[in-house]
Amino acid sequence: MAKLATLAETYPDLAEALRSSTVGEWRAMANILLTVSELAAALGVSERTVYRWAKRGELPTVKFGNHIKFSPDAIGAAIADQFEENA
């Protein structure tokens, strides 16, 4: 439950949307999340690198059981933050 609370604090708009969503809307949201392989291909890195970044907390993740997925918007924000830190 602590992980869900952290997710709700980090993404309050997402948390509110999830609370008011139907099962069909949940499935639609799951379809817009990226898999490890999709994100690795988009970033031009290996899947192992994506897993390593996620484990270190460098990439925001959404967990479904033993699977992790990535929100394109959250990944974009994380990348933008990295550019700002390195500028």
Give the pLDDT band of residue 4 (cuts 50, 70, 90).
very low
Residue 13's alpha-carbon distances to 3, 16, 50, 62, in angstroms, are 16, 5, 25, 15
For every residue of 2-45, which 3-state class applies, written as one string? HHHHHHHHHCHHHHHHHHCCCHHHHHHHHHCCECHHHHHHHHCC
pLDDT digits (tens, 9 = 90+) for 58-71: 899 988 788 899 98
- Return the H-helix or E-strand segment holding 62: strand 62-64
Q: What pLDDT was estimated at residue 28?
A: 60
Ranges of each domain in the chain: 1-31, 33-87
Q: What is the topology classification, in CATH, of domain 33-87?
A: Multidrug-efflux Transporter Regulator; Chain: A; Domain 2 (1.10.1660)
pLDDT digits (tens, 9 = 90+) for 37-66: 999 998 899 999 999 999 998 899 988 788
